[in-house]
Amino acid sequence: MQFTINRNLFLENLNNVMRAISSRATIPILSGIKLNLTDEMLTLTGSDTDISIEIQIPVNDDLIVQSTGSIVLPARFFSEIVKKLPGKDFSFEVKESFQTKIVSENTEFMINGLDANNYPHLPEISTDASFKISGKTFREIINETVFAVATQESRPTLTGVNFIFNNSSIKAVATDSHRLSQRQISLENGPQTSTDLIIPGKSLVELARIIGESDPEIKVNPGENQVLFEVGNIAFYSRLLDGQYPDTDRLIPTESTTSVEFELPVLARSLERASLLTHESRNNVVKMTLDVQNQLVKLQGDSPEIGNVEEEIGFKNLEGEGLTISFNPDYLREALRASITDSIIMNFTQPLRPFTVVPAKQDVNFTQLITPVRTF
């Protein structure tokens, strides 16, 4: 196996494959990266069993093949070597006993590889139920929900985002049982049959990074226990979480007794100031008082060790019944960070019942739910 390749081209693709390789691989060979070279293309593969990434680089002026073959190399060392090579191009040659020579200008590395035949095969996923979606749209949905997944493994299904795709819409829901984020958007030419997938949050974070700021078309291929996303020359496989996702629709209140509309930056800055002190307290709780009669909204935070803060917040509209409620400011701060409109409405029912954060624009279907904290 021997080839010469442009270093920047190779490094760009190598960095994406490295997203699937764990430093704590349970199967030793999975700490390596697989290279497979044919007369038509060079294929790079990385996997940690949860995520697998395969990238194909076609043969062209930047990739010249001398002989075909395959090898598995230690990913971390190989990546560092390529990053530090001096030249524009480098040559790669596998010798006897899987020893691999990497040469660029006057620098030569020799590293030991492994037999690629021992590398696990990637799952075969049928494309019969595949459909396409805008990369920009999918990345936005991920960012608007994934922060609310559970980080504890006690309820595995909650560590993922539940996606329901149908012909005309996508609905995505994430919850850790303390807060919830649900986003629904219209979709053109979605799957003909409704598809329900629970995708691990960690997989979605890496997929969002691969999509980046551009707007590539993504082909989604749902399988039995895996889903394949095709993004340009990248094939991104993720395992699916087993189990039934909870019926979250019943958790979201359909009516409210008190509602207040804020300009998002105003509320976010007030929350930031209140959090300065609450983060020093074991409880990390802020209290919001909604005085409808006097048209006043007040935010309070305190730490027994440091002191307290109290602030009146400017708002656009306040109506309903007076209310005082306590909650974790970090949950609301992350909800605001995910919000996509300049103004939001907070809807309340009772001091100890979850409240919602929704866009002030009626045509945006995005609901976030936060459970209050009992302080007495």
246-279 confidence digits (pLDDT tens): 999 999 999 999 999 999 999 999 999 988 888 7
- Output the pLDDT for position 221: 94
Looking at the structure, tell me whether residues 264 and 353 fall in a common domain.
yes
Asked if the structure places residue 340 within a domain, the reply is: yes
Looking at the structure, tell me whether residues 259 and 362 fall in a common domain.
yes
Looking at the structure, tell me whether residues 235 and 258 fall in a common domain.
no
- 55 and 17 in contact (C-beta within 8 Å)? yes
Looking at the structure, tell me whether residues 164 and 110 fall in a common domain.
no
- 336 and 271 in contact (C-beta within 8 Å)? yes
Domains identified in the chain, total number: 3
- Output the pLDDT for position 214: 84
Cα(135)–Cα(304) distance, integer angstroms: 47
- 318 and 295 in contact (C-beta within 8 Å)? yes
Domain CATH code at residue 263: 3.10.150.10
Cα(122)–Cα(233) distance, integer angstroms: 16
Query: Which two tokens mark 65?
Result: 């093949």
Chain centroid to Cα 312, Å, comes to 35
Looking at the structure, tell me whether residues 196 and 278 fall in a common domain.
no
- Output the pLDDT for position 215: 86
Asked if the structure places residue 247 within a domain, the reply is: no
Domain end (from 91, 118, 145): 118
- Output the pLDDT for position 98: 93
Asked if the structure places residue 212 within a domain, the reply is: yes
pLDDT classification of 341: cutoffs 50, 70, 90? very high
pLDDT classification of 133: cutoffs 50, 70, 90? very high
Looking at the structure, tell me whether residues 86 and 52 fall in a common domain.
yes
- Output the pLDDT for position 88: 95
Comparing 187 with 6, which gets the higher pLDDT? 6
pLDDT above 80 (res 282):
no
Asked if the structure places residue 278 within a domain, the reply is: yes
- 66 and 92 in contact (C-beta within 8 Å)? no
In this prediction, residues 338-365 reach a mean pLDDT of 94
Asked if the structure places residue 375 within a domain, the reply is: no
Domain region containing 18: 2-118
Looking at the structure, tell me whether residues 10 and 110 fall in a common domain.
yes
pLDDT above 70 (res 112):
yes
Domain end (from 186, 205, 239): 239
Looking at the structure, tell me whether residues 95 and 22 fall in a common domain.
yes
Average pLDDT in the chain: 93
Measured CA distances, 301 to 267, 292, 310 (Å): 14, 21, 7
76-84 LR contacts (CB < 8 Å, sep 24+): 76/21, 76/23, 76/31, 77/111, 78/14, 78/33, 78/111, 79/14, 79/15, 79/18, 79/33, 81/109, 81/111, 82/7, 82/10, 82/11, 82/14, 83/11
pLDDT above 80 (res 375):
no
- Output the pLDDT for position 179: 96
Tens of pLDDT along 66-84?
999 999 999 999 999 999 9
In this prediction, residues 126-154 reach a mean pLDDT of 92
- Output the pLDDT for position 129: 86
Alpha helices (H) in the chain, listed in sequence order: 7-18, 75-84, 135-145, 201-211, 264-278, 329-338
- Output the pLDDT for position 376: 64
Asked if the structure places residue 245 within a domain, the reply is: no
DSSP state of 128: T
Asked if the structure places residue 124 within a domain, the reply is: no
How big, in percent rounded to 5, are the helix, strand and coil portions of the chain? 25, 40, 35
Looking at the structure, tell me whether residues 281 and 226 fall in a common domain.
no
In this prediction, residues 105-112 reach a mean pLDDT of 96
Looking at the structure, tell me whether residues 39 and 139 fall in a common domain.
no
pLDDT above 90 (res 108):
yes
Domain end (from 56, 84, 118): 118
Asked if the structure places residue 27 within a domain, the reply is: yes
Report the percentage of the chain scoring pLDDT > 70.
Answer: 100
